[in-house]
Structure 1
Amino acid sequence: MSIYDIEVKKITGAQETLAPYKGKVMLIVNTATKCGFAPQFKGLQQLQDTYGEQGLAVLGFPSGQFMNQELEGDAEIAQACELNHGVSFPLFGKIDVNGNGAHPLFQHLTNEARGVLGSKAIKWNFTKFLVDRDGKVVKRFGPNDKPEDLVEDIRKLLG
């Protein structure tokens, strides 16, 4: 199965696959609005604004798995992201990123790009996965990697 076949739920509740992002460079991030790393939303939006027309798609997947640092409902999450952080890049429904209930997308991402010492588990919010135009997961970044630190890798993939 290709990454483009994986079903996801948009923050609005509509089901879709990642097929609309075929041919784009995707930066997939597990987010949390109440996390200390939430200021990264601004940098992620800046990446989308700067490189979106060249083919970058920043995709945010809220998760409350780390100390419950995410709001309960998808509508609340969408509102907080837009009002507090100026987010206009695509957000998806709240999911789990680790464990038996991990969303299939994050199972795929963690299988393809391991963390420190080969770990599959996501350690915290704002772990980022860079996916090339062919759907190959090429790099995993930790929460401490700020969006602006990813520019060189993004530019290489955009060509």
Structure 2
Amino acid sequence: MYQPSYLDSMPRSARSWAPPSPHPAAGEVDVHAALGVDAQFVLMLDAYRPHGGLARLRELETSLLLRVDEPPEMLHAWVRNEQVFAFEWAGEAWMPLFQLASATMLPREDVRAIASELRATHDPFAIAAWFTRPHACLGGASPLIRLAQDDLGVVLAARRSARARSPMR
């Protein structure tokens, strides 16, 4: 029996997964493109672990309620309003926790700005994967690693990736 997920309420374009572009942005190292979705998810689990990890939205609602004075619906509003991104894998909605400030559990503006650069050309799964992949324009580091030292550089890398995937280039 089918059980609807939270992401069912989002437009299909915002929740569907498509394989990464066979032509990564100039300077991007895209060794993950040939991997299946499950293998990419496992790589993301490992990459996000030192940065707060990945959490299922349904479990995050409970823990978020305990940490801030926000109703559980607020998390869904953040996703809907593109303050944070979440993606679907194995019938569950997942969210990288680095998007929330650890002290307040509120969305980080720097991450929101970077994700907004990618939204037109990357689906939510691809955005989550993008943060974990090495990029030549970031010295071979992933945006997740470089964000703390060079948020402007990561914004520019996102813009470059989006432009490389755009059909209007």
Q: As a proportion of its length, which structure holds more helix?
A: 2
Compare the two structures and name the one with the higher strand fraction.
1
TM normalised by structure 2 equals 0.30
